[in-house]
Every structure is written in C-alpha cells, then in structure tokens.
Amino acid sequence: MSKILVLGATGHVGRPLVKELVARGETVKAASRTGKPVEGAEGVVFDVLKPDFDTLFQDVDRLYLLLPTGYVDAKGLLMPIVAAAAARKVKIVFQSVFGVDADDSIPYRQVELAIETSGVPYVILRPNWFADNFHIFWKAGIDHGLIAVPAAEGKSSFIDVRDIAASAAAALTSARHDGKAFNLTGPAALSYGEAAEVLSTVLGRKIAYQPITTDAFVAMLTGAGVGADYAAFLGSIFYPVREGWTAAVTGDVEALTGRAARSLRDYAVDNKAVLS
Ligand SMILES: NC(=O)c1ccc[n+]([C@@H]2O[C@H](COP(=O)([O-])OP(=O)(O)OC[C@H]3O[C@@H](n4cnc5c(N)ncnc54)[C@H](OP(=O)(O)O)[C@@H]3O)[C@@H](O)[C@H]2O)c1
C-alpha cells in the first residue's frame, strides 16, 4: 500500500518523473492509455475520459495529478479524480498552472481549492511555460527559423520539464512540503525575442521571433489540425504573457530540490539534437 500513481506517465513531465522515482527506489504505477510499463515501472491503464478508479488506486498512497495536454475542461475531468483520491486517503501532488491563484474563479484554481479542502495531504505545483514547448509546440516554426506567437514583448521565466519532474519527486517523497503551493520557474525571464536569440546561438542558425495577433495564431493552429476549442484556449493563455504576469522568477525549484533551476540555455544545449 505504498505505491505512487503517476498520471500522464508517458508525457513530458511524467516520464522523467517516473524515472526519478524509480531511481529513488519508489514503487510506481505509471498510468497511460496503453497501460504499458514506463521506465521500469509497472503500467496501468488510464483514460482521463473514463477512469477506472478501483484499478488505478489499488495499493496507492500518493498521486501525481495532471491534465493531459489537449483537454480544456480541467474542472470536469480532474474533480472526480480528486474526489476518488480523497475518498481513499491518497496524498495528491497536483501539476497546476502558473498564475491561476490570481483569481479563484479560474477552473484550475477551483481544482486547487478542492484539493486544499479535501482533507488529504497535498502539494500544489504551478509551473510556468515549459522551455520544452520550443521543441514540442514551436518546433515546426523553428525548423523554418521562425517562432510566431501572440506574446508581444512579454517575458516568461521558462522552466525545463526536468526541473518540474525533480520538484514533483521531492513533493511526492517527503511530507516536508505538504500543505504548500510552489510557483515553479526558470532562473530568468526572457521575451520570445530573447529566447529566439538563445536558440540561435545554441543551434548555430538564425531563429527569428515574430509577434502575431491572437486571431492569426489561432488560425495557424487550426490550420495545422489543432481542434478549435484547444486552439482558442492556447490563444487565450498568451494574454498573461503580454501583461507581464509570467515574468516572475521564484526560488521554488531550489526550495524543493536543493538545486537551482536550469536556464533556457541549459535546456537548449541539452535538447540540441531534437531542436535541430
Ligand atoms: N506546456 C506548458 O507550457 C505548461 C505550462 C504549465 C502547465 N502546463 C500543464 O501541464 C499539463 C500537461 O503536462 P505534460 O506536458 O507533462 O503532459 P503531456 O505530455 O501533454 O501528456 C501526458 C500524457 O497524457 C496522456 N494522455 C493523452 N490523452 C489522454 C487521455 N485521454 N487519458 C489519459 N492520458 C492521456 C498521453 O499519454 P498516452 O498517450 O501514453 O496515454 C501523454 O503522454 C497540462 O495540464 C498543462 O495545462 C503546461
């Protein structure tokens, strides 16, 4: 009865998290739609649209909770999982989103509030924009030497997913951080123009930044096959960037892990092959 259930275990944060937990000697249930083993951990089938809680939570005392990318209904999909974990007295470490504590009406914040009042131990992690988005979402543009997003000159303290995973591992394997929320950022705030310069230097070719309108961005995404709902959602989340709200830098990665957060340059150097 001491397994850690990791949702999204094949994903950007999930996979390095499973790897780190296994390396620490924890017993992990790695949840994905196929239920295949991940990084040496046993697999369990998980579909956020039709979760089987009894199978998922069997022998589990801690949960890493996240909403897979591509889904908009954070409350509708995550609240039943929170309730199922709380009913089984399972500790919840929740991968939320940077800045959602600004307004209690934001759906992600409402999930946080439900966790805070659930009666089980919890830790809330609010990562800022992932550095890894450059090789996930913006890779097609980078291939053509151009990042085009509606960020204007707004800055973000981009965080490497490895630092989110390390923070999550710390939160899952110690009670020291229980009852707290951590705003996870990289060590510096950069505009997309500055980020493009870092990538240009590391990749040895010119990557430009072109600020575009939200409408042009949404049209570009839907043209590339992204669903209309999710494209509109992605368009909307650049508003806080333009307002400067994603520029804050915290020491929360170091508070959790004992190590400084990686810079965007560190990210780019380590991911040069996949960015090239
Ligand atoms: N990207 C950012 O800049 C950013 C910043 C802050 C917060 N966040 C938050 O981080 C979360 C995403 O984290 P992530 O990037 O680590 O996740 P992810 O890699 O996008 O997704 C994790 C895994 O979820 C699985 N998945 C897809 N559809 C599923 C379904 N219907 N049921 C169950 N699993 C499904 C996929 O694995 P299988 O196909 O193997 O099932 C995928 O590998 C989101 O909630 C987002 O809001 C993102």
Across the chain, mean pLDDT equals 97
What is the pLDDT at residue 3? 98
What is the pLDDT at residue 271? 98
Q: Inter-axis angle of helices 228-236 and 214-223, to 10 degrees? A: 150
Give percent of the chain with pLDDT exceeding 70. 100
How much is the average pLDDT of 154-171? Answer: 98
Distance 15 CA to ligand 1 centre (A): 11
Query: Tens digit of pLDDT for each residue in 3-21?
Result: 999 999 999 999 999 999 9
- Relative to the CA of 164, which ligand 1 atom is closest? 16
Query: Tens digit of pLDDT for each residue in 181-235?
Result: 999 999 999 999 999 999 999 999 999 999 999 999 999 999 989 999 999 999 9
Could you tell me if 141 and 211 are in contact, meaning their C-beta atoms sit under 8 angstroms apart?
no
What is the pLDDT at residue 38? 98
pLDDT at 1 exceeding the cut of 80: no
- Sorted by sequence, the CB contacts under 8 Å of residue 104 that are 6+ apart come out as 110, 113
| HSE toward the beta carbon, residue 205, CA cutoff 13 A | 9
What is the pLDDT at residue 152? 98
The domains located in the chain, with CATH, are: 3-127 (3.40.50.720), 129-159+185-247+262-271 (3.90.25.10)
Indicate the top mutation candidate among 69, 130, 147 to test ligand 1's pocket, ranked by most ligand atoms within 8 A of CB.
Answer: 69
Q: Residues enclosing ligand 1, CB less than 6 A? A: 8, 10-14, 32-34, 46-49, 66-69, 95, 97-98, 127, 129-130, 133
- Put simply, whether the predicted model's pTM sits higher than 0.95 gets the answer yes
3-class secondary-structure state, position 275: helix
d(CA 227, CA 35): 26
pLDDT at 48 exceeding the cut of 90: yes
Instruction: Please state the φ and ψ torsions of residue 258, each to the nearest 5 degrees.
Output: 80, 5
- Relative to the CA of 136, which ligand 1 atom is closest? 1
